[in-house]
Structure 1
Amino acid sequence: MLSAFGRAFRTPDLRRKLLFTIAIMSIFRVGSFIPTPGVDYGNVQQCVASSEENTLLGVVDLFSGGALLQLSIFALGIMPYITASIIIQLLRVVIPRFEALHKEGQSGTAKLTQYTRYLTIGLAILQSTTVITTARQGMLFPQCPVEVIPNDDIVTLILMIVTMTAGTGLVMWLGELITERGVGNGMSLLIFTSIAASFPTSLWSIAGGPDGVRNFILMVLVIVLVVGLVVFVEQSQRRIPVQYAKRMVGRRMYGGTSTYIPIKINMAGVIPVIFAASILAIPGLAAQFGDPTSDWVAWISRNLVDPASPLYIGLYTLMIIFFCFFYTSITFNPDEVADNMKKYGGFIPGIRAGRPTAEYLDYVITRITSAGSLYLALVALIPTLMLVLLGVTTNLPFGGSSILIVVGVGLETVKQIDSQLQQRHYEGFLR
């Protein structure tokens, strides 16, 4: 593997792409520490050091690499773009125009990407306004005695909203630059950078706490086991064989080949975990506006905010399973796949083309998604299970799913580097 790294950097074109990607990732990390105009950086650092974990904004803080709590120019990170992409994908089911654009190929995809950019800016304005309002009211750091925004006149607040929105647009542009001129998917690599940057601090905080050595060793062992599990499952496929009949077009014969449809165990990725965590954060948001001494606020704090409560674990698991099936049904349409196979003369051995093929694909997808949803729920609940069974808090943002994202993006990037190496060398990156 080390020799493959050397070959990658000895290849001029690939070396230029790798260095460009690393440079953009470095710019993204530097921007995460530049404070937004109007924010008292010293007070923010004091509040971050003294505050407890805010589960309400934990999802956004995950994808900003801690920049949200720093109130930096990249405070929103990549989250508005992710949200916009998910919304556009969901709207394909509701709006026929979006589905027609999706089927048009490259031109339609470019149009949907443009809609995603517009929606990203709109969501960035909304989310930046929410974050600034939360910081002004003291909800971002409930236990902090100092103000993070000393001057809250209207001009300063508008400047902060414009700066955070512009930061989101810049992050989106940086991600697209990586995709066009670098290696790998730009947005995924920026998410990878944000999550991986928080690992050293989290592990160091575990080592410095009570029973630090024991907890640190347990945490490292769990991370190694989870990484192995994620690599094994993410690389696993159910390959459905497909054969294409021979046909004559003019004087030439086409078809007669055999291929397969690769179906991953976890086709939905980490999206179900994001949806489930976002929905479960809503009761906690409502409780923050209520009377702390009231019974309903205490019940929500005990059952829907505490991640170790049985009700929270049950709801979290059920939501992940539901969104796994829901998102998979959107991204993989058995009827569309069966129609395309029939159009080009393809068939699954032993299955008639058309409706029987669609029913067979739906049957296979349902079985595989059942296993994939349970696997995803298990990975997402690893921090909670460690808290309940071993008494170890991980302090890792977003729990086991952060490892899922890091490993998934890492594998995909390595595959792209390997494919480019194989264009120039017979021996690739992976043996």
Structure 2
Amino acid sequence: MKKFFTTLSNIWKIEDLRVRITNTLLFLLIYRIGSYVVLPGVDANVLNTQRGKEGLLGLLNMFAGGSFSRASIFALGVMPYISASIVVQLLGIAVPYFTKMQKEGESGRNKLNQWTRYLTIFITAAQAYGYVRSQVPENARLIADPTTFYFLTAVTLTAGTLFVMWLGEKITDKGIGNGISLIIMVGIIASLPGSIVEEFKSRFINGGGGPILFIVEMVALMAVVMFTILIVQGTRKIAVQYAKRIVGNKQYGGVRQYIPLKVTAAGVMPIIFAQALMFIPATIGSFWPKVASSSIVIALSNYTTWQHNVLFAILIILFTFFYTAITVNPNQMADDMKKNGGFIPGVKPGQATSSFIDGVISKITLPGSIFLAIVAIIPALASMVHINSQFARFFGGTSLIILVGVVLDTLQQIESHLLMRHYDGLMKTGRIKGRTAVPTAAGTTPPAI
């Protein structure tokens, strides 16, 4: 405990770090206040707050911190921006024009950021129309003219998303950590206290097993968190030797370094893609009632059935290999290594190095994808043992992986500030490691979520 208070004192002594943490908290507070501001022309008293809390919409509502179900001006959150970032990243792989921009350094990144912002506007406008049609009932609309209401709401939601995107960029520049990731994390954490309270009531008040079962659930949650940290930080290091170079009177190179290849280089993206596909049967069933009554559609639409979870796990494994293949480029890594005079001991430079790295990635991606699949289906297993569905989401899946990754990244940045000023780190032994970035197909890293 003494070490903890000493660390807090050291953090407060560093003016730059103190200002950055204060700025981050203030920006996040603005976001949370805005998440309770209802859209103009919508009667909040008539809204059904239970709508949009289940299925894929429930996942979006969690990312938006409950704004989605409250019809807030921040209802769409930063998800349109994340979608635009992923599209631009994929364009950088498939379209030569975008690939060239990714290789132009700072100026190229600025151009890509502009393209991402423009695309965010179009995606938000399209999603805003769909949101109003599906989530805001007619009896909650205070504006009689549908055209006026749709236009006003679309403009407001688009402005809200752009404002949240601006907040995220300001947090990154003037705060601590990745702003967009922190906003998503705060939205997820916002529902955690209420979920714990509901689970507490179900165990203590409603005779659902008493304190022993509740304690077992909390211990299980901590075990899952530790397992997720192991997955997020797991790396396979490849030794790289650099040749000696004499420049003037100084010697460069001649040292051994390591390329850290992540066990889960795809991050949380395979789970997001797989979840999107798993909601297709329910969507088809909403248009064709006869199809919805079939046993296959019913089984695949229920996330607690074994058919749903087996297919979900298979999709995650496949998407992990797919996303790793398009984001991690062994050829580029081998070329960069050759240009800088580096080589892997026992492996010839060039194509042999590329094949070696590709083989290592293939070997570590399989266990990584299996681990991701296990983490993804744990919430369904928790629901099967009668854990509250809202609380069960924190036992794994997208939300837990994002929480663990963002917290590790933020703590790593705080520790870096402490170490630069000759203070001890946050831990007595070792150093906190964030999500290690690996070179991608175009020299950039995937969206930090």
Shared fold (TM-score greater than 0.5)?
A: yes
Post-superposition Cα deviations, 1:201-233, rounded to whole Å, max 9, x if no partner, equal 112122223416465334322220111112223
Post-superposition Cα deviations, 1:293-349, rounded to whole Å, max 9, x if no partner, equal x25444465122100122211221111111111111222100100011011110011
Distance 1:152 1:244, change over 3 A: farther
Which residue does the alignment assign to 1:287? 285
- 2, 5, 13: which is aligned to 2:5? 2
Does residue 150 of structure 2 align to residue 147 of structure 1? no
- The one-letter code matched in structure 2 to 1:422 is L
1:256 CA displacement: 1.1
Aligned-pair Cα RMSD in Å: 1.9
Which stretches in structure 1 are left out of the alignment for 5+ residues?
Answer: 139-145
Post-superposition Cα deviations, 1:130-186, rounded to whole Å, max 9, x if no partner, equal 1101024x5xxxxxxx83335452212211111111000000000000001110110
Which residue does the alignment assign to 2:245? 247
Which residue does the alignment assign to 2:311? 315
Q: 1: CA distance between counterparts of 2:152 and 2:291?
A: 40
SS where residue 256 of structure 1 aligns?
coil
Does residue 198 of structure 2 align to residue 205 of structure 1? yes
Equivalent residue runs for 1:218-257 within 5 Å: 218-249=216-247, 252-257=250-255
Q: 2: CA distance between counterparts of 1:125 and 1:297?
A: 34
Which residue does the alignment assign to 1:385? 381
- Does structure 2 conserve the Cα–Cα contact (< 8 Å) formed by 1:245 and 1:346? yes
- Does structure 1 conserve the Cα–Cα contact (< 8 Å) formed by 2:286 and 2:292? no
1:22 CA displacement: 0.4
Q: 2: CA distance between counterparts of 1:123 and 1:297?
A: 33
Does residue 164 of structure 2 align to residue 163 of structure 1? no
Which residue does the alignment assign to 2:320? 324
- The one-letter code matched in structure 2 to 1:24 is F
Distance 1:80 1:216, change over 3 A: farther
SS where residue 368 of structure 1 aligns?
helix
Does residue 63 of structure 2 align to residue 41 of structure 1? no
Does residue 414 of structure 2 align to residue 417 of structure 1? yes
- Does structure 2 conserve the Cα–Cα contact (< 8 Å) formed by 1:43 and 1:147? yes
SS where residue 113 of structure 1 aligns?
helix
SS where residue 353 of structure 1 aligns?
coil
Q: 2: CA distance between counterparts of 1:181 and 1:341?
A: 34
Q: 2: CA distance between counterparts of 1:382 and 1:276?
A: 15
- The one-letter code matched in structure 2 to 1:324 is T
Equivalent residue runs for 1:111-126 within 5 Å: 111-126=111-126
Which residue does the alignment assign to 1:18? 21
Which residue does the alignment assign to 1:142? none
1:249 CA displacement: 4.5
Q: 2: CA distance between counterparts of 1:354 and 1:306?
A: 49
Distance 1:74 1:212, change over 3 A: farther
Does residue 333 of structure 2 align to residue 347 of structure 1? no
- Does structure 1 conserve the Cα–Cα contact (< 8 Å) formed by 2:299 and 2:308? yes
1:282 CA displacement: 2.5
Q: 2: CA distance between counterparts of 1:317 and 1:152?
A: 46
SS where residue 168 of structure 1 aligns?
helix
Distance 1:353 1:75, change over 3 A: same
Which residue does the alignment assign to 2:262? 264
Q: 2: CA distance between counterparts of 1:203 and 1:213?
A: 14
Distance 1:191 1:201, change over 3 A: same
Does residue 76 of structure 2 align to residue 80 of structure 1? no
- Does structure 2 conserve the Cα–Cα contact (< 8 Å) formed by 1:267 and 1:328? yes
Distance 1:312 1:30, change over 3 A: same
Post-superposition Cα deviations, 1:17-67, rounded to whole Å, max 9, x if no partner, equal 0000000111111111110011111122xx225x58421412321210111
Does residue 403 of structure 2 align to residue 406 of structure 1? yes
Q: 2: CA distance between counterparts of 1:169 and 1:279?
A: 27
SS where residue 191 of structure 2 aligns?
helix
- Does structure 2 conserve the Cα–Cα contact (< 8 Å) formed by 1:382 and 1:399? yes
Which residue does the alignment assign to 1:132? 132
- The one-letter code matched in structure 2 to 1:409 is V
Which stretches in structure 2 are left out of the alignment for 5+ residues?
Answer: 429-449
Give the TM-score of the pair, scaled to structure 1: 0.92
- Does structure 2 conserve the Cα–Cα contact (< 8 Å) formed by 1:248 and 1:254? yes
Distance 1:415 1:119, change over 3 A: same
- Does structure 1 conserve the Cα–Cα contact (< 8 Å) formed by 2:53 and 2:61? no
Distance 1:332 1:228, change over 3 A: same
Distance 1:116 1:37, change over 3 A: same
- The one-letter code matched in structure 1 to 2:316 is I
- Does structure 1 conserve the Cα–Cα contact (< 8 Å) formed by 2:52 and 2:135? no
- Does structure 2 conserve the Cα–Cα contact (< 8 Å) formed by 1:48 and 1:70? yes
Which residue does the alignment assign to 2:353? 357
- Does structure 2 conserve the Cα–Cα contact (< 8 Å) formed by 1:418 and 1:430? no
Q: 1: CA distance between counterparts of 2:173 and 2:247?
A: 37
Q: 1: CA distance between counterparts of 2:259 and 2:400?
A: 27
Q: 1: CA distance between counterparts of 2:125 and 2:298?
A: 33
Which residue does the alignment assign to 1:184? 177
Distance 1:7 1:252, change over 3 A: closer
1:196 CA displacement: 0.7
Distance 1:163 1:377, change over 3 A: same
Q: Which range moves more in the overlay, 338-347 or 244-253?
A: 244-253
Which residue does the alignment assign to 2:435? none
Distance 1:212 1:3, change over 3 A: farther
1:7 CA displacement: 1.1
Q: 1: CA distance between counterparts of 2:142 and 2:294?
A: 32
Q: 2: CA distance between counterparts of 1:399 and 1:161?
A: 35
Q: Which range moves more in the overlay, 246-255 or 30-39?
A: 246-255
SS where residue 147 of structure 1 aligns?
helix
Aligned pair count?
Answer: 417
Post-superposition Cα deviations, 1:362-391, rounded to whole Å, max 9, x if no partner, equal 111111111111111111111112233x23
SS where residue 42 of structure 1 aligns?
coil
- Percent sequence identity over matched residues? 41
